[in-house]
Amino acid sequence: MTLVANRPTNGPGLHAFVVGVGHYPSMPEPAGPAARSALAFTRWLSEKSGYNNPTCPLATIELLVSSKAAMQWGGAAVEPANRDNIETRGAEWLKRAGSHEDNIALLYFAGHGVERGLETALLLEGFNPQSASPFSHAINFTEFLGGMESCAARKQVFVVDACRETPSWVIGFPGALGDGKIAARNLFDRPSMRARDYAVWMAAAADQKAWAPPDGQNFFTTALLRALSGPAADDRSSDDGTFEVRPEFVASSIARLTELGVVEFPVGPQQPQLTGHFSTFVFHVPAPMVVPVRIGCEDAAQTSSAAFEVKSATFDPQRSDPPRDRDWIVDVAPTDATVSVKLASGASSSKSLRVAPPARRVRF
């Protein structure tokens, strides 16, 4: 089974193709976190508290995951992310996504990636660097992006949680790093005269790795899902003050969350990037909308023994009692709030705070 969600819509909908390559039989490096990341993203798409877009609700999710152990979704086996499945299931996804101009076509990829100059390749299960044509088991993402013009969906989002390094053998590799696989270029076969809006959220900058803890999921996917819960939403572009996630807010909100220590890329340098070509569009409307607030004392020792409270006229007070080993991070609705601290010595203090995305930080 690969179609793990199928919710017919009367109008436009989001059609997702989620690919996680957590197992490369020919490569020594483990990639297990990629499979878990793909499943986590699929869960976010399908759960009630996850993806929400009243004008473009979830319609379908096509899921392919390669892992050492057989993967299941809803009791059925998930097919592997090999070349054949990518081509056949990808073509079906492309057809569904192209069924309405106002659809959102979404590709999520987690796995190994390589880059040579401006060319990016996403490696599939059968990739073997020792073979005669290793990139026949890869998606040339640069070509794929160009070919996606052939999909009638005029809003497209691509999430690439993969490394962007250049192994030395790739520099001298003759020819292109594979082809676009499912999306072929042809200017005269374009289904729409409307300009395409597409955004690419990449886990890392060029030359960087996309890191992951061995037993968890990729740091970028974790950060992305955190951002989509509210920090990446803003009301400045909406007509009615609704907090909306638009493509241009995502990478900068993750940067801000990282800066404030709300999310971490603890292993190596990793700066998520936004590329693409778009005006602007609503991708997701978080419900409930939450903003992380990080609260602590200048003196770490005081933080460990302090009691914190956040209250506002619009939500119930939230408290954090000691002991703790780090700042308290609490998710609250965007509003005017009061943050207070009571120290072990009995002293107390409070501060007014305008809670607004992507995140706030309070020091006592």
Partner 1 sequence: MPPLILSIEGDESANLALVAVVRPSSEKARTVIVRREETIDVPLGRALVELRLPSGRVLTTEVNVAEAGAKASFVTEKSEKATELERLVSPKARPFDDLFRGEMAPVPPAPPPPAFPVRAGDDDAPCGVGMGIVRSLGLARCSDKNIDVTPLFDRSTGVAADALERSKTSWTLRLDPHENEATRFALLATAECTAADGTTAEKTLAILLPIPWRGSSGVDVVLRADASSALSPPIDADVLVRDRDVGPVLGYLASGDVASAMSLEPFVANRANQMLFSKMANPMGAVVGAYCLLRVGSPEVAWTRNLADMFSFIPDASIVHASRLLRPFDGKRETFDEAKAALVAAAAAGPPIFTDGLRWLVDGLADVRASMKEADPKVDAALAYARSLSARARPRELVTNVVGDGTSLDWLFGFDTTNRI
Of 34-63, which residues contact partner 1 (CB under 8 A)?
A: none
- CB 188 → partner 1: shortest distance, Å? 6
Give the binding range for partner 1 (CB under 8 A) out of 65-73, 100-108, 124-132, 238-246: 238-246
Closer residue to partner 1 in complex, CB, 117/288: 117
234 binds partner 1 (CB under 8 A): yes
State which of residues 10, 48, 54, 186 lies at the interface with partner 1 (CB under 8 A): 186
Q: How many residues bind partner 1 (CB under 8 A)?
A: 58
Shortest gap between Cβ of 325 and partner 1 (angstroms)?
18
Q: Does 356 bind partner 1 (CB under 8 A)?
A: yes
Give the nearest distance from C-beta 267 to partner 1 in angstroms: 15
Residue 49 or 349 with smaller CB distance to partner 1: 349
Site string for partner 1, 282-301 (x = CB under 8 A): --------------------
CB of 99 to partner 1, least distance (A): 19
Closer residue to partner 1, CB minimum distance, 172 or 323:
172
Q: How far is the CB of 286 from partner 1 (least distance, A)?
A: 15
Question: SS3 string of the chain?
Answer: CCEEEECCCCCCCEEEEEEEECCCCCCCCCCHHHHHHHHHHHHHHHCCCCCCCCCCCEEEEEEEEECCCCCEECCEECCCCCHHHHHHHHHHHHHHHCCCCCCEEEEEEECCEEEECCEEEEECCCCCCCCCCHHHHEEEHHHHHHHHHHCCCCEEEEEEECCCCCCHHHHCCCCCCCECCCCCCCHHHCCCCCCCEEEEEECCCCCCCCCCCCCCCCHHHHHHHHHHCCCCEECCCCCCCCCEECHHHHHHHHHHHHHCCCCCCCCCCCCCEEEEECCCCCCECCCCCCEEEEEECCCHHHHHHCEEEEEECCCCCEEECCCCCCCEEEEECCCEEEEEEECCCCCEEEEEEECCCCCEEEEC
